[in-house]
Structure 1
Amino acid sequence: MQKKIYIVRHCAAQGQPSESPLTEQGLIQAKQLGDFLIHAKIERIISSPFLRAIQSVEPVSKRTTCHIEIDERLSERILSKLDLSDWYEKLRATFDDMELTFEGGESSQEAMNRIVNVVEEVLESGAKETVIVSHGNIISLLLKHYNPDFNFECWKKLSNPDVFLLTYEESEVHLNRVWIEKDV
């Protein structure tokens, strides 16, 4: 049986804290995301608990009548509890060294394991088409799990929102970017 998982990066947000809402542009993008997924036969929606992720799929939830399941494992990866002035370079380093950690943070491998576990549980469930909405860094680690060539440069090219389709059939996983950026 074929299964499809739409991996969604949240729409444009007002900030990085978990309570940051979508911007005005992000709310328009969320509607576009709903339009984009209108023909999918979505049976489940699983979201990060962060407000910007939830708001990104609310239009999809309303159209499909699927309630949004919250899963803490889809929270953005914490690079460090410290305010790192060179966070960009430190993030780059974690793509090369999957075990590298900074004070109060988690390694790329730990974060990857979290999101891969969610995907594996979805694949084992009865749902044929699922939406998972999360954040750029942890999604990039999921993409790296299925495509080891996905690196820091690929992460930099992600958009808000962004959508990848993971198709699973006969023990094979195929992953493709399906989002086409729209002018808002």
Structure 2
Amino acid sequence: MKKIYVVRHCQAEGQAPEAQLTAEGAKQAEQLAVFFEGITLTKVLSSPFVRAMQSAEPLAREQKVEIVVEEGLAERVLSTAHMDNWLEKLQETYRDLELSFDGGETSRAAMNRIVSVTEALWNEDGEAAVLVTHGNIMSLLLKHYEESHGFATWVKLTNPDVYVLEKEADIVSVQRVWKE
């Protein structure tokens, strides 16, 4: 694979795995399909969460490829316990990649999970692939390839958002390509 596009899902009704796209999110998913016109995609992979699948559907339809459901693209669980200060706690997990909370996944574990998906794709034939995922895990993937990404990147992500990863001589570059 020469390029991997990483897409944050479109606007959704909530954070639960079964949360669907809003009416605006459905329009955004159609805009994503238009955004990728002229780019030949070999694969479209999606988180199993409904909002990610719905974000990928118009793109897969237009590209005439099936969506591959990839568990490694699921959003990271910060904690299974309610936290009033979840934003502060999330920020802490970008400073300490080994930090975890009740029932939650460390940043390092989530990062390794999504990196394993991209690393497998680099070895496949094709021009480009798309990964449709979620903001937190997406920002951790970007951080893996370029240390400058992290919590501040997560804060600035839009719904949807698109970054492209390009690999040349074992060096991966990261660039935001979505224009709102």
Query: What TM bracket, shorter-length normalisation?
Result: over 0.9
Aligned to 2:42: 43
Amino acid at match of 2:179: I
Aligned to 1:94: 93
Deviation at 1:168, TM superposition (A): 1.4
Amino acid at match of 1:105: G
Structure 1 vs Structure 2: percent identity of aligned residues? 48
Aligned to 2:65: 66
Aligned to 1:157: 156
Deviation at 1:150, TM superposition (A): 0.9
Equivalent residue of 2:40, what SS? coil
Q: Distance in 2 between matches of 1:118 and 1:127?
A: 15
Q: Distance in 2 between matches of 1:147 and 1:58?
A: 29
Aligned to 2:102: 103
Amino acid at match of 1:60: L
More moved, 163-172 vs 79-88: 163-172
Aligned to 2:81: 82
Equivalent residue of 1:103, what SS? coil
Aligned to 1:22: 21
Aligned to 2:126: 127
> What per-residue deviation string (whole Å, max 9, x for no partner) do you get for residues 90-121 of structure 1?
00000000000001001000000000000000
Q: Which runs of 5+ in 1 are unaligned?
A: none
Q: Distance in 2 between matches of 1:158 and 1:70?
A: 23
For the aligned residues, what is the CA RMSD?
Answer: 0.9
More moved, 162-171 vs 3-12: 162-171
Amino acid at match of 1:61: A
Amino acid at match of 1:153: A
Q: Distance in 1 between matches of 2:169 and 2:127?
A: 14
More moved, 169-178 vs 102-111: 169-178
> What per-residue deviation string (whole Å, max 9, x for no partner) do you get for residues 27-68 of structure 1?
000010000001111010000000000110111111111000
